[in-house]
Amino acid sequence: MALKEAGARGRLLRWPRVLLFGDSITEYSFQENGWGAYLAERLVRKCDVVNRGISGYNTRWAKLILPRLITESTSADSIVAVTIFFGANDSALKELNPKQHVPLEEYAANLKSMVQYLKSVDITADRIILITPPPLQESAWEKACLAKGDKLNRCNATTGQYAQACVQVARECGTDVLDLWTLMQKSQDFSSYLSDGLHLSTKGNSFVAAQLWSRLENKLSALPSLLPYWRDVDHMNPEASLL
């Protein structure tokens, strides 16, 4: 059978999508042992896990990009989950990092705006997960800053205010939320979750993966595997199984 004929006979295969939207902590999530790679492995043959992490970005910039990533005309109905994971850059101290800093009230408004936009293109609240920034281990991050000729430009208490704002937005908008800032600090030494005081270590990636999977598993467990198991294909008449 010619490929064009097969294409005409068969229905277009569309993989559902999980969209990961965030800053560098999302961008790096497909590295070895990353939390995004873990989700992709768990969901293979069921979903495409799409990494839209953009290092260094804050919510002020993110809300401008989101409508270019998802529109009604780009099959928003195929998106089964979206994570919004910003705050590590927004919470940078204004006097030391004015380019990335976003005031707390604006940060909350930007998150709310992104959730409202997703709802406007028919991505329901139960498909949206907000993620707070993780805690900041100041001494380790100060070393990273000094190595670049900078001063310590973030502090954990300030990051906590942004995390609380993220939790509040999720509550108001009816979405799920993963409060990493609080959960990670239940461990006496949360620095083991971080590679440089800000970004995730292997242990931190595993922690995020487990926490996110516990939220996604119920949402996505009913999704079927796409295409039949190879032993179930009729080898005498594969068209009957595959088209």
Could you give the residue numbers annotated as active site? 24, 196, 199
DSSP 3-state assignment of 65?
helix
Furthest-apart CA pair in the chain: how many Å? 71
- Compute the distance between CA of residue 31 and CA of residue 168 in angstroms, rounded to an integer: 31
In the numeric block, the tokens 């030494």 are attached to 189
Which long-range CB contacts under 8 A does 164-169 form with residues at least 24 apart? 165/104, 165/107, 165/108, 165/111, 166/87, 166/108, 166/111, 166/130, 166/131, 166/132, 166/133, 167/130, 167/132, 168/108, 169/108, 169/111, 169/112, 169/115, 169/130
Buried b (16+ CB within 10 A) or exposed e, 43-71: beebbebbbbbbeebbbbbbbeebeeebe
